[in-house]
Amino acid sequence: MIKVEKRNNVSRSIYFLTPVLAIFLTLFGGGIIFFILGFNPIEALKFFFITPISDLYGLSELLVKATPLCLIAIGLSFCFKSNNWNIGAEGQLIFGGIVGGGVALIFYNHDGFYVLPIIILSGAIGGMLFAMIPAILKTYFNTNEILVSLMLVYVAKLLLDYLVVGPWSNPEGFNFPETRQFSEPARMPILFDGLRIHAGIFITLITVFLSWIILYKTYLGFQIKVSGLSLKTAKYAGFKGKTMIIIVFMISGACAGLAGVGEITGPIGQLHRNISPDYGFTAIIVAFLGRLNPIGIIFASLIVALTYLGAETAQIFLQVPKYTGQVFQGMILFFLLGSDYLLFFKIKFLGLKKNEL
């Protein structure tokens, strides 16, 4: 027999250990799924989690994928900390990509140091404006931000599709649904020859640092945390709720927009239909796995990026669909949320000394 007891206070160490537990449980669950599918589970997990990062190119790819994931998740942490459910980061990423890409096409024949910064900035503004739609509808019309931000993902995808098929398609592109390749000054500098890792990683790291300052060292960060813990307290303290909601959406939209523009000026180099393999949705998992903490999110983005690489390797070696990555991502979140139970409850085995609460 076991007995469950409520904890009086949440232990710090368990708070950061449960994500590790969740990852181990996911590996175990993944092994079982591979076994059911008829693979040797150890072998399959090796293909999934070790093979992809066993060389320098693989490690660079890991960082290429972690760069947008970390950036978006950092932005989302502002929303989630204050109980604002922005789940449309994918749409904000795409819209940022559209605006940044449009500017890149305008500056097609320009050759100056100013080109890339303007593109990056416009991408961030694009994402920010797109995220303000659910924020304004939430604050002034009381509309559910989950549904609005999600519906806008589909709108952004269709807008991108329209642009690359129609007005923005490459005039010399034989009607392929894609724009021209951006010119060299509009591309993120590559850090090492032969690898795809690009300067976007610095944008991510700077954003992580800035967000740490905002969250832990400013009045705004304090407001965000208090509103997340108790809306009543926040109201009593006289915080301007509406302004804060709009600001957190703007921050997370700008981060997603930056991620989008980083992708199109980095590894992709043009606009086409699929500029993001659902980074905006996966970043939600990254944010939770990282405990909405900037440092935690860095580690979490590396782990979740590995599920993307693993799915690609497994697709080649085991012929499983690339969506397998999503199965792992879903499982990580399930196990993480489930193991949070240990934060608030002690599980005691009877026979030990009983503690009355």
Partner 1 sequence: MSFDLNFIGILIGAIMASSVPLILAASGELITERSGVLNLGVEGMMIIGAISGFALMVVTDNLFFAVVGSMLSGLIISLIFGLLTQSLLTNHVATGLALTIFGIGMSAMIGKNFVGIPGKEFPLLFVNLKESIPFLGPVFFGHSIILYFAFGLPFLTNYFLKKTKTGLIIRAVGDSPTSASNQGINVTLVRYSCILYGGAMCGLAGAYLSLIYTPQWIENMTGGRGWIALALVVFATWSPIKVLIGALIFGGITILQLHMQAVGLRIPVQLLSALPYIMTIIVLVVISRDSRKIKLNTPTSLGQIFYKEK
Q: Applying CB under 8 A, which residues contact partner 1?
A: 6, 33, 37, 85, 87, 137, 141-144, 146-148, 150-152, 154-155, 158-159, 161-162, 165-166, 281-282, 284-285, 288, 320-321, 323-331, 333-334, 337-338, 340-341, 344
109/185 Cα distance (integer angstroms): 9
Residue with Cβ nearer partner 1 (24 or 341) = 341
Comparison of 60 and 92: residue with beta carbon closer to partner 1: 92
| Other residues' Cβ atoms within 10 Å of the Cβ of residue 236 | 10
Closest separation between CB of residue 278 and partner 1, Å? 9
Kindly state the smallest distance separating residue 88's Cβ from partner 1, in Å: 11
Residue nearer to partner 1 on the CB measure, 67 or 329: 329
- The CB-of-220 to partner 1 minimum distance in angstroms stands at 23
Nearest to 78 by CA among 152, 141, 128, 122: 128
Please spell the DSSP secondary structure of 179-239, one letter per residue: -PPPPGGGSPPBSSTTS--BTHHHHHHHHHHHHHHHHHHSHHHHHHHHHHH-HHHHHHTT-
End-to-end CA distance of the chain: 19
Least distance between partner 1 and beta carbon 214 (Å): 23
The one-letter code for the residue type at 112 is G
Minimal distance, residue 216 CB to partner 1, in Å: 23
Q: H-type helices in the chain, by residue range?
A: 12-36, 41-49, 56-81, 89-106, 115-141, 145-165, 200-217, 219-229, 231-236, 241-263, 279-289, 294-317, 324-339, 341-344
Q: Choose between 60 and 324: whose C-beta lies nearer to partner 1.
A: 324
Minimal distance, residue 271 CB to partner 1, in Å: 14
In angstroms, the CA 74 to CA 53 distance is 24
Quick one: 47 or 288, whose CB is closer to partner 1?
Answer: 288
Least CB distance from residue 351 to partner 1, whole Å?
Answer: 19
Q: Give the nearest distance from C-beta 187 to partner 1 in angstroms.
A: 28
- Nearer to partner 1 by Cβ, of 29 and 58: the residue is 29
Measured distance CA(4)–CA(18) in Å, rounded: 18
Q: Are the C-beta atoms of residues 133 and 306 closer than 8 Å to each other?
A: no
Record the tokens describing residue 30, joined without a space: 């993944």
- Return the amino acid letter for 230: S
Minimum CB distance to partner 1 smaller for 189 or for 338: 338
| CB-CB contact of 217 with 95 (8 Å) | no
Q: How far is the CB of 44 from partner 1 (least distance, A)?
A: 12
Q: What b/e string do you get for 173-186 counting C-beta neighbours within 10 Å, with b at 16 or more?
A: eeeebbbbebbebb
Which one, 119 or 292, has the nearer CB to partner 1? 292
Cβ contact 53:306 at 8 Å: yes
Output 116 or 331, the one with its CB closest to partner 1. 331
The Cα–Cα gap between 266 and 184 comes to 11
